[in-house]
């Protein structure tokens, strides 16, 4: 078991599933790219990948998977003025989002 301090300093994966209405896909991807451009500039950012479901009937049409150096760097990025300025662009397009932070336990 890790201490809270150790858990804050290990790499984390942030996964956010998005509910995007039909016909809003291109608008969502354009908005996501704006946020991505800002997040890539933040300390601790490692990588991101946006996934789109093969089924148009899937409840979560898009899933964003982002890797960060630590929980602390992710939280600092979310608190940044750049993120606070661009995040509402995505929020305006989606019907809902389901974010969660994870740690890798097996490879």
**Helix, strand, coil content of the chain in percent (nearest 5):** 40, 30, 35
For 10-102, give the CATH class.
Answer: alpha beta
What pLDDT shows up at residue 10? Answer: 87
Give the pLDDT confidence of 54-89 residue by residue, as tens digits: 999 999 999 999 999 999 999 999 999 999 999 999
Q: Is the pLDDT of residue 98 over 50?
A: yes
Span 13-64, pLDDT tens digits? 999 999 999 999 999 999 999 999 999 999 999 999 999 999 999 999 999 9
How far apart, in Å, do the first and last CA atoms of the chain sit? 18
Please state whether the predicted TM-score (pTM) of the whole model is above 0.75.
yes
Asked if residues 57 and 33 have their Cβ atoms less than 8 Å apart, the reply is: no
Q: Higher pLDDT residue, 100 or 4?
A: 100
Torsion of CA 22, 55, 29, 85, to 10 degrees: 80
Identify whether the C-beta of residue 16 lies closer than 8 Å to the C-beta of residue 36: no
In this predicted structure, the answer to whether residue 1 has a pLDDT above a threshold of 60 is: no
């Amino acid at each position: 078991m890790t201490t809270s301090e150790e858990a804050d300093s290990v790499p984390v994966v942030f996964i956010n599933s998005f509910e995007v209405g039909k016909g809003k896909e291109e608008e969502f991807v354009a908005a996501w790219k704006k946020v991505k451009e800002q997040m890539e500039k933040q300390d601790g950012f490692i990588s991101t990948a946006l996934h789109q479901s093969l089924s148009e009937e899937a409840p979560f049409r898009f899933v964003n998977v982002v890797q960060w150096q630590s929980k602390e760097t992710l939280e600092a990025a979310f608190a940044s003025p750049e993120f606070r300025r661009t995040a509402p662009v995505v929020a305006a397009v989606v019907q809902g989002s389901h974010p969660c932070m994870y740690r890798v336990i097996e490879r």
